[in-house]
Amino acid sequence: MTVLDEGVIDKYKTLSERLADPALIFKLNALFERRYAWVELLEWVHERLKWDNGEIERHNDPLDILAYGKGRCGEFSILFTAVCLAQGHRARIILDMSDHVWSEIWDTRTNRWVHVDPSDCKIDDPLMYERDWKKTLAHVYAFENGKMEEVTKNYKADRVRAAG
């Protein structure tokens, strides 16, 4: 791993710790009048955050993201993961070291992590990056409460073919 990679990894470890902070969770949870399912939270995020490819300020704080009202994949994933955590759903940030960020939600019914791309509104389509975006994924990491897990294999078509 290069020095640059370690810096990015440390940034996301710290971010994932901040998203689990009880004070932030309390503030975010106050935005809701009831408990939302995580699919509803994806809609909630899209009602409040607009995609913008132009010159924008980048934010890592969910409250700043909400106030600013626009972002890219990082902002969508941070906000979605944060509101899921605030609403009692287990969630984590996923980082593709080449250039993309998304989320995963723990599904208690199936006991597995479910891929959610908040910027694209895609659910449980982990192969979309190779299939639709023609990406070659080499280093994909999950971040949850300061811990990191290497999850590249979950997003590679050859792993799915081998398992099937």
| 132: its two tokens | 């639709």
Q: Are 76 and 154 in contact (CB under 8 A)?
A: no
Residue owning tokens 């990894």: 9
52 is catalytic: no
Which one of 61, 73, 107, 125 is the catalytic residue?
Answer: 73
Nearest to 145 by CA among 85, 72, 57, 68: 85
Task: Measure the N-to-C terminal CA separation of the chain; round to a whole number of Å.
Answer: 31
Which one of 59, 89, 100, 115 is the catalytic residue?
Answer: 100
139 is catalytic: no
**Residues with Cβ < 8 Å from 11, sequence gap 6 or more?**
none
> How many helices (H) does the chain have, and how many strands (E)?
7, 8
Which one of 59, 84, 96, 117 is the catalytic residue?
Answer: 117
Q: How far is CA 93 from the centre of its chain?
A: 4
100 is catalytic: yes
Radius of gyration of the CA atoms of the chain, in A: 15
Give the catalytic positions in this structure: 73, 100, 117
